[in-house]
Copies of this chain bind each other. A is one copy, B any other.
């Protein structure tokens, strides 16, 4: 109160302060479906459920400040793994999420274009730093924006933009002092030569890479910006020293250099995604797209299926703005595949008797579940 009355020079809020809601929140799932069998299966994210093996961590890793040499080694390993020109083109961060406003803030506030549908944090980050955000469907619809953010492959629909098209867009943007941000969070399972990692020397392209999704280690918080060294220095300056935890550095140094594991995992995830397709197809659900780490499904019964699966202890991702969509991540093991298979079969067998109701519609009918709880599961 005192602040509002007197701290007049406080920079006014952009209106993008309200937190968005995301997948992966099993606490909220348990509140929404208190009778579901345990353990809950989390298919609401695109995180590899079979993580890279953790190395033994020395207690020193937790106790001491992360060593600059350890961070430098991870930057070098990331440059090699992702195909960036050098370690000087790599910025380490505690997850790519934290980089979004920093990257969006590299250019003066003006018009920003976000290619949709996509990860909702792109638009929020751009608005947060003062851009006037426009949602566009095609990358050639943004020729007057100063900042363009695009997922490639995109989440949730898996849409791929050709490298040549993105480089053409970057060139156009460069002419007017603009910046292209390519979120390659799922590029580890993308097609060969689709990444723009090797192209960031052009100067106005920032590629974001997620460590936690493909390596199945989202809890350690690690992500990368690949960009020209002049931009890398500025992002590193904003993050300051010791941005990434020492345990994260220790596992990443090993994982990024493990080409055999990465190749084996790409193949395994591809097989798993096809298995998921087969299960969904059996229920007469359209697959709109995806990557090997998730599939975007469409069915007019999305809401009923979301609740059916929830009651069976399986959390998938719903999209309030697209009520016929559900996103499915991958089960972790035989037991989880069986439970998903069984739950989908019982949904079919129920003859779709469950009323088709919007997600929020359930709130009024089930005492213990608030609309807020349901919103948290978007």
Contact = CB atoms under 8 A, between A and B. Distances in A.
Interface stretch (A4-12, A157-165, A338-346, A347-355): A4-12
Contacts of A231: 3
Interface stretch (A136-144, A211-219, A276-284): A211-219
Given A8-B177, A220-B62, A68 B239 contact: no
Interface in A54-108: 54, 59-69, 94-95, 97-98, 100-101, 105-108
Which size bracket describes the interface of A in this complex?
35 or more
A274 interface: no
Given A63-B218, A203-B1, A106 B230 contact: no
Interface stretch (A241-249, A289-297, A320-328): A241-249
A174 interface: yes
Contact of A13 (B107, B228, B234, B242): B234
Contacts of A107: 7, 9-11
Contacts of A236: 17, 19
A65 B27 contact: no
A176 interface: yes
B94 A245 contact: yes
A146 interface: yes
Contacts of A179: 7, 10
Contacts of A3: 174, 202-204, 228, 230-231
A245 B221 contact: yes
A246 B179 CA distance: 33
Given A128-B238, A245-B220, A203 B59 contact: no
A130 B26 CA distance: 41
A16 interface: yes
Contacts of A309: none
Contacts of A54: 59, 62
A283 to B, nearest CB: 27
Contact of A247 (B64, B95, B174, B219): B219
Contacts of A22: 65, 241
Nearest to A24: B65
A233 interface: yes
Nearest to A69: B27
A132 interface: no
A303 interface: no
Interface of A: 1-4, 6-11, 13, 16-20, 22, 24-28, 42, 45, 47, 49, 51, 54, 59-69, 94-95, 97-98, 100-101, 105-108, 110, 121, 124-125, 128, 146, 174-179, 201-204, 212, 216-221, 228, 230-231, 233-234, 236-248, 251, 376
The 10 closest A-B pairs by CB, nearest first: A3-B203, A9-B177, A219-B246, A2-B203, A27-B69, A8-B177, A17-B237, A24-B65, A97-B240, A94-B94
23 contacts: A3-B228, A6-B177, A7-B174, A7-B179, A10-B106, A10-B107, A10-B204, A13-B234, A27-B68, A27-B69, A47-B64, A51-B63, A65-B218, A94-B98, A94-B245, A97-B241, A97-B243, A100-B240, A218-B242, A220-B245, A221-B245, A245-B245, A247-B247
